[in-house]
Chains A and B, each alone.
Chain A
Amino acid sequence: MKKLLMIVLMAGSLLVGSACRLVDPFLIALNLPLSVSATVSGGNFWNESKTYSIVDQITSVSPTYATKVKATRISDILLSMPNPPATGTVSGSITYQLNGGTADTLATFTNVPFDSLRSPGISLAQSSLVHRNVAGLSNLLTAMQNATGLPLTATITVQTAGTTSVAVPAGTQIVATIDYQVDVSI
């Protein structure tokens, strides 16, 4: 009887072990939005920047992840306006600085209707409303994308500035977001 039970248990154990296992290691693609939310002040002006440490962004998900990075990439860049007023347009720019260096223009836009900036906003991947600076975007991609580990860039500052065509309610925001993906091996 004991032998029979042990055979049953061992067979069950072998079946579980062979039929199901945790993949080791596997990659998690972290989505790290590097965004700047600019509040329109004085009725129709905004100018705001925010600096991110890439490693700090990764460790904010888990303290151990920064040493496990296998690749990085930019998945999208978006310009959006949460809760936009009914009518009006925006004109301005998105710029960035790498490691505190010289500012480079990523995109410029003129007379973009508020309504077109509703969530998720306008993607720089394909838009006639926002003019991409091809050289600036190319430099950014080169600096931030790495197929083998952390990027060469330690910090990035994202900035947006511009004006609205009409005075907007206090608290109205313009948001520029670099959607950054980091693969960590777990």
Chain B
Amino acid sequence: MQCDHQILFVRIFITALALAICAAGSLAQTDVENAINQLDAVNVRGYIQPLADLYGADISAGSFRSAYIPRDGISVHLDLLGMGSQVTDGEKTYTVQLPPGYTQKTAVQPTIFGPAATVVKDPSGFQYKGSDGMIDASYFPHGVAQLTIGSFDGTEAFGRLFITPALGTNKLPKTTLYGGGVRHSISQYLGDPPLDIAAGFSYNRMTIGDLITINAVTIGAQASKNWSILGVYGGLAWEKNSLTLNYTPTASGVATSIDIDGANTFCATGGVTLSLGFLRLFADANLGSVTTFSGGIGFGN
């Protein structure tokens, strides 16, 4: 039986890894980098702002599924997570600054998640157009593997990692997501509270080629309640997400670094978990400026 579990675990891990590679790798193409390089420092912000909003929310999601942390003893969990942030209409277009001599000063053009771009014609005969959107999405997904180890005085630590290797020749740059955090049981100080309560922080970092780095910091508190195999959990968190773009616009030829803040600053989480012995299934919703859903499968004691 133990052997069956191990084989099943390996199969699930490989399948989830393949899914997550598809999700992460699709964004990291050199063609994407080429499109970004075409935009000047003013307009590139609007084009990639959704990446800061959605990736920032994605990579912070799904870090916990219970507030119960044993005071001591060894506990190990391996979770395979999928998370997806909702792409709203507001994330699909932005207002671009047209060339300085145009009669019309601004125009609506697609972001990286937007529709096909349209040509703006000036009475002088000049014409301007942005790049098309590249990703057609109602939800923007990502995947990650997370290992949680505890407990020492009611404290546990987790680390998460996902690496997409460079694939093909100048096709898919390496994409790396790593992060981690620490959580501490608060309920251990409260006698016998009706809910388990914990607090903690996490840091996640994602790099897409040499072009984009996304950092996400989260500080929050969580609560949970378990009944037999069913559990519910929730939390409140403060978030700080930022995207740094290092690129060289073709128009200026000057290396440029731009920082863009993600939309989420506060997030409320609610979710359910189903414990089936060695295995757990879980799903939650994260509500903030960006709505993110996460879910997955966990293994461990």
Contact = CB atoms under 8 A, between A and B. Distances in A.
B255 interface: no
A73 B127 contact: yes
Nearest to A13: B19
Interface in B34-77: 34-35, 37-39
B3 interface: no
Contacts, number: 148
A127 B132 CA distance: 30
Contact of B133 (A13, A23, A141, A186): A23
Contact of B250 (A61, A141, A183): A61
Nearest to A18: B138
Interface stretch (B117-125, B179-187, B193-201, B263-271): B117-125
Contacts of A126: 101-103, 124
Interface residues of A, number: 46
A12 B134 contact: no
Contact of B127 (A61, A132, A145): A145
A9 B17 CA distance: 11
The interface centre, meaning the residue of B8, B12, B101, B116 with most chain A CB atoms within 10 A of its CB, is B101
A21 B136 CA distance: 5
Contacts of A145: 127
Interface residues of B, number: 53
A16 B102 CA distance: 42
Contacts of A132: 124
A74 B127 contact: yes
A19 interface: yes
Contacts of A1: 8, 276, 279
Interface string B1-36: 000000010001001100100110010001100110
Interface in B126-173: 126-141, 170
B191 interface: no
A16 B279 contact: no
B99 A123 contact: yes
Contacts of A179: 99, 251
A55 interface: no
Contacts of A78: 100
Interface in A101-152: 120, 122-127, 132, 137-138, 141, 145
Interface of B: 8, 12, 15-16, 19, 22-23, 26, 30-31, 34-35, 37-39, 82, 84, 99-103, 116-117, 119, 122, 124-141, 170, 249-251, 276, 279, 281, 295, 297
